[in-house]
Amino acid sequence: MNDNRGSWKCLKCNEKLAKKKTVFTYLGHNFSHEVMTCPTCGKVFIPKDLAMGKMAQVEEQLEDK
């Protein structure tokens, strides 16, 4: 098992990622979440399951109207 969770690094800077609250916009809705960010270049790393989950939530809200 190769468990890198909690110790991600930016491949470009070789810098350890830090958790940072980031605001996203999707389909005109804003939502914030703590994601792993590179403190040097500011690149944000979003796990695919988080992105998919948030987008599904927004789409459900839209359909609720």
Least distance (Å) from Zn ion to the CB of residue 14? 8
What are the structure tokens assigned to 10, written together?
Answer: 């930016």
Task: Put residue 27 in one of left, alpha, beta given phi > 0 → left and psi -120 to 50 → alpha.
Answer: left
Q: Does 11 bind Zn ion (CB under 5 A)?
A: no
Rounded Cα gap, residues 57 and 54, in angstroms:
5
Instruction: Please say which residue, 36 or 38, places its beta carbon nearer to Zn ion.
Output: 38
Site string for Zn ion, 21-40 (x = CB under 5 A): -----------------x-x
Residues found near Zn ion in the complex (CB under 5 A) = 10, 12-13, 38, 40-41
